[in-house]
Structure 1
Amino acid sequence: MGNMSGFGFVMPHWLYWGWLAVMPLLLLWINGFRKPNADDEVRLHPHPGNRLTRWIDWTSEWSGIFVALWTVNAVVFYFFEVVMRYIFNMPTIWVHEASYLLLGMQYLMTGAYAFLHGAHVRVDVVYNFLPPRGRVGMDIFSSMFFFIFALALTVTSWTYFSQSLDMGETTIETWGVQYYPVKGLMTLGSVLILLAGVSKLIKDVLLYIEMGRRDVA
């Protein structure tokens, strides 16, 4: 970090990354590891899936909850910045960077959670005119486009992460925090989205078969 003595309190890099790893676990422990009440549970997939899909869905659910709790840090960080800037006339050099990196990592890591809960944007121009089984079939067909995107994102993210790790990349701001953990979480988020897509495809196929049997019966 170099000499930061003239900038007041500067959060050490190890404390920043360590706190992001531990803080959600502390809050979840205080809450008894109970999931928050979700208003969109009805948007979950109608088919229960199998053991593999349930494991993937559990991972998608809790990874999203874990990083969502980081938002508390952003609120506290900016409160600290306002106090230091406007009361003590000592603006920080790390709060803005710490917060936008945090929110960027949140965006990357909650993709699987959003996918699980059907929160991603979709085009329904044709979809809404299809019968229920036709919609499931459309989901199965369109999944190949999703997997092209998800695989490309995963491979590209891994390339960025490995290069960043090899060079020990840091941000260009004065705080100079390590950048490779951000790209590492970008890779992890890509893998989680890919797994969420696998889970949905399996459930779509099972549901499509089940609906076909109902039609025959």
Structure 2
Amino acid sequence: MVKLLRAIDLINASLSRFSSIFMVLLVLTLTYEVGMRYLFKSPTLWSYDMSYMLTSLFMVLSLGHVLQRGEHVRVDLLSHYLPPRWAATVEALLYLVLLFPFLYVLLSPMPGHVLNSWRIGERYTAGTWLPPIYPFKTWVMVGMFLLALQSLAQFLRVLILALRGEEV
């Protein structure tokens, strides 16, 4: 099981590092847009759509790694003062009561929506560029699935700590 947990960590860490490329592309895209808009008075039609797509791609592919590193925003009102095994028990219960139901509600309809989006060739209609939206929906689903995998790995870690007092 330790190898499986490490493999999940490695997948999420690797994708998070890879996704940093999209931040560089975002900066280049926005720099180009600002130059075109203010220097040449010729704004682009695609910059807005590209900026939210690149940002979301970076964010959703980094969610699992951020969870693995414990860097999500947390409110440690109680667990900070508890012994490690009790804090792990509280965290395991919160995974079961809050995070896993949320992930289920979020992830369960996604495959159907994504497949339908690919089937009909769905496009984003709020902007002027009208880019295809199905790749966007696909990477959001993949990122959320990887977050769910990392959540399961973290849950197993705190469960083992709570039950055995051992860190994995």
Alignment TM-score, normalising by the size of structure 2: 0.89
Map of 1:201 onto structure 2: 155
SS at match of 2:165: helix
Q: Given the alignment of the two structures, is residue 188 of structure 1 paired with residue 142 of structure 2, yes or no?
A: yes
- The residue identity in structure 2 corresponding to 1:181 is P
Map of 2:104 onto structure 1: 151
Q: How far has the Cα of 1:95 moved from its partner? A: 1.4
Map of 2:39 onto structure 1: 87
Gaps of 5+ in 2: none
For 1:106 and 1:159, how far apart are their aligned partners in 2? 23
Please provide the CA RMSD for this pair. 1.7
Q: Is the 8 A contact 1:109 1:189 kept in 2?
A: yes
- The residue identity in structure 2 corresponding to 1:130 is L
Map of 1:73 onto structure 2: 25
Map of 1:160 onto structure 2: 113
Q: Is the 8 A contact 2:92 2:159 kept in 1?
A: yes
- The residue identity in structure 1 corresponding to 2:113 is Y
CA-to-aligned-CA distance 1:157-193 (integer Å, 9 cap, x gap): 2233122112211111222111011110111011101
Gaps of 5+ in 1: 1-48, 213-217
Structure richer in helix, relative to its length: 2
- The residue identity in structure 2 corresponding to 1:53 is L
For 1:143 and 1:78, how far apart are their aligned partners in 2? 38
Q: Given the alignment of the two structures, is residue 58 of structure 1 paired with residue 4 of structure 2, yes or no?
A: no
1:137 maps to which of 82, 86, 89: 89
Q: Is the 8 A contact 1:157 1:186 kept in 2?
A: no
- The residue identity in structure 2 corresponding to 1:205 is L
Q: How far has the Cα of 1:128 moved from its partner? A: 2.0
Computing the radius of gyration from Cα coordinates, the structure with the larger value is: 1
Aligned length: 164
SS at match of 2:108: helix
For 2:129 and 2:92, how far apart are their aligned partners in 1? 47
SS at match of 2:109: helix
Q: How far has the Cα of 1:153 moved from its partner? A: 1.5
Q: Is the 8 A contact 1:61 1:113 kept in 2?
A: yes
Q: Is the 8 A contact 1:63 1:110 kept in 2?
A: yes
Alignment TM-score, normalising by the size of structure 1: 0.70
For 1:87 and 1:128, how far apart are their aligned partners in 2? 53
